[in-house]
Structure 1
């Protein structure tokens, strides 16, 4: 509920006063963003990587021979958010990855949503600069790079991709307010990585998500606007992270291919067209493309199956 109250208040501030007139603390991505590395060697104790610092990376628990996952939080979140803590824990429980969490809370924890959204590109460029340096020094393989972002973090993932072009980008309910589907250069887009997948859980006129197909594959659970068991936009928006976490553990989010977004929103897609599992590793290999729908349960476990074996 806190996120909903803050969101409404921030939008009222934006409407009342132009963004360039709102006084905000200075934010410098190169000074204020933290890159926190978690591996199976330092579970529960993330290691902060210094920017382009060879001693820092050599003394870190990173394994250059393992795939890398980059996680990015949304507005008003920090390193305690589910996209950070729970997602990292589940990924490392099942996979031997390098998980880098992007903590940009110095720029995101502001009541001025417009101010936070204006920092998205700078954060993405900063993270990309670090990853490019790590690639040049053979600490990360871009063929094994997957960037996952939630809300504003989804658009940050887009800017990371625009400046690195890694293997996979995943946008978890990309933020809608102040982001235009007609401006792919300013948001997550299908061309930001070799494969880009988006999940839409809170679109529509009053939703927090952008709610339209932006990626190579776009998934619209329960129609993509409100989620079963949710009474608020906040709940529906955050379900994107919950679904992603559950897909790591036991992927039962099997989808049906839709011909149009309207079909997906009305949940009347033709099952004869076939489908695929959301967030499945084969999606990038097969370069899955199209619009998909799946239904969920009201409570955990959310997936209805069939389950990926």
Structure 2
């Protein structure tokens, strides 16, 4: 088949146009990627502004949390004005997956990135966030707490499974003095009683410690497909069931109530929990004003106010609601997790 000079010229023109278009796409993609990289270094690119600085665990003017904002300070323990949790953030340089602090003592559950796989450890911190002691963890971090005096710490990990929503998971909860003494590596070795009867079962799991003092605590124990609020005693090494269907309890500062997540009938099996408060004197429970699924161990900002995390654009946001069931939820701080408020 013969081609005229005009048709060859047209084909050449089309070829040049295609080259220019493809070249433009490549340049555009390169500039877009460069722009994304540049924005990731900008303090506001991944959420709230975060700056490096000095962070202490004993500063009464500051609240603390794990910052979830994208950028060089993601996962670092961060300080904000206690009365303005959404205010300017000062990052400590210490990264934690789970964190809690009280009376100048901190517990930080960290990932240790390896060549073949990640491992995890618990690090006890002093008031300047300097490591005092380290403990290898048997699984993925999920809960952490410090007693009000700062003399005892606890943590929970998933040994298998990665969610409380189903039944195919196993946890391990450990308690130890912040001075390194008296390690109870697995609270499942404590004597569990339910309805006055000692439970001997292979399926016992214990998680979500909240401290009353250095030796007494509350937690969740699960066995036989049911969960219970248990009162624990380190001296007698016992766990006593007090109330059913309680997970991840959190004791109020005055020691009279527990906030917790409760499975409710008719909820999505993957989002089964609502936030409740239990009066320890009467064992009467009442729902909080938050009607969304709460998969968190809430904290008390004061004797009247709960703070908890919900999924957000950067992984998690902090929300707050009154503990007495009144009011409506409001967002307290974006891109934040594991809050600690001064006492």
TM-score normalised to structure 1 length = 0.30
Structure number with the higher helix fraction is: 1
TM-score normalised to structure 2 length = 0.28
Higher relative contact order (CA 8 A, sep 6+): 1
